Structure 1
Amino acid sequence: MGKQGSQTDSEVIGAGSRPICYDGEALRAEVGRLLAALRARLSTGPYRDLLGENVVAGLEADTLAIADHLGSPFRIVVVGDFKRGKSSLINAMLRQPLLSVDVLPETLAITEVRYGATFDARLVMKDGGFLPIKSDELHRQTIEPLIEKYANQIDHLCIALPMQGLEGVVWVDTPGTGDIFRCIEDAVAAYLDRSDVVIGVLSPHSPLSQSEQTFFRQVLAPRDFPKLCFVLNMLDHVRQPGDRKRLVDEVRGRLSRSFPGA
């Protein structure tokens, strides 16, 4: 029989290699409809009687939190111990020195970098209030006294910039973790629930220190993030290529036991 009308191998390969695309807005709308339907169902008497008021209240709060998260920008949160180059990594990804170590020598507060039509910086309070920060005030001498004064009230520092590539994405720099910074670490842990991707930054000088292992095991692992990456930063400090490979293999092996597939 002839092959008239059949597809050639090249046509089949070409068709098979096309990526499948998804409409993010349509998916968000569909999930929103499902959440609304679930809340409506939970509000009926039989379900409240079956599950109990406490369980229903918890489920309703969770559905509202998910709905709020669906409407928020995509958050990439960078975590790690002090002196791991978290701010430098974000600068490299954005290809601009937005979080200069000269301006904020060590991140003093959880810092969101997002898109804005014009420059805007503010210290955002937990109750929704904020302290406006001028562009020439974005340095340690101004920020640190404010953080000390309003320590228990501050949620994060937000910097909005008219920068291409930030639309719909928020990069989040976090203070270093460690046992002596337990109050900061607790704030970072609480903020992680708002994230979509988490990047753990390590240093070749002391990769997977005890404080890092504790934070990763106690804070990251229980949350079971679907998108979790680790970056071994500053590998240019390891001069020999063979040493770099051994270091990467060792770190990858140790991390894979706690975070398979990361």
Structure 2
Amino acid sequence: MPSKNADVPPPLPEPLRVAVADSHTHLDMQSGTVEEGLAKAASVGVTTVVQVGCDVRGSRWAAETAAAHESVHATVALHPNEAPRIVLGDPDGWSRQGAREPGGDAALDEALAEIDRLAALPHVLGVGETGLDHFRTGPEGMAAQERSFRAHIEIAKRHGKTLVIHDREAHDDVLRVLKEEGAPERTVFHCYSGDADMARICAEHGYFMSFAGNVTFKNAQGLRDALAVAPLDLVLVETDAPFL
């Protein structure tokens, strides 16, 4: 009988019939070493992974890990929820970095400058995950979040890197900002969460849609409808490990 212990991972699945790239993962948030994680992934056919940065420290780690492992590519960014945390502070220490005092716009500018520096590295292939999150960030943090998103778009375009978008309950605003700023040549909606109509808009603009394990959930028929209309050449897959 399978273990019900949440701390015990499920057994590895059968190897995939073809090699697959995981377009979005967080090796730094998983148990075990990077080498162990990559070996397990390779044993089931996942031969390439994209390690995603969500803050300055994590982005530095992503860049260093990609430089050290041929099968790892890096993206660097401030997560949408990180931007208001930098500007307004985080007294409760919601993020893994712990509590911090408000830094204002100057602190956000400093963090964005470091992301800009990292994005220029040759083994960093993308800028993300950036975007908008209306689920966790309240109205007081929206201005910082959108300013950060616009800055990331500019960084991605200037360095010729892929833009990786985090879009949670913010579809219309994300599409609006992309239209106003002009999207980079390659734009990926990580853990795609829109409906079929939005998938058609993404296809029209050539945006990639990356689908995660939640597409299999019983209540995710809308995601399956979106996948059904998404052109296959614009479809990516991801684990968002360890989350999905």
**Aligning the two structures, in what range does the TM-score lie when normalised by the shorter sequence?**
0.3 to 0.5
TM value normalised by structure 1: 0.34
TM value normalised by structure 2: 0.36
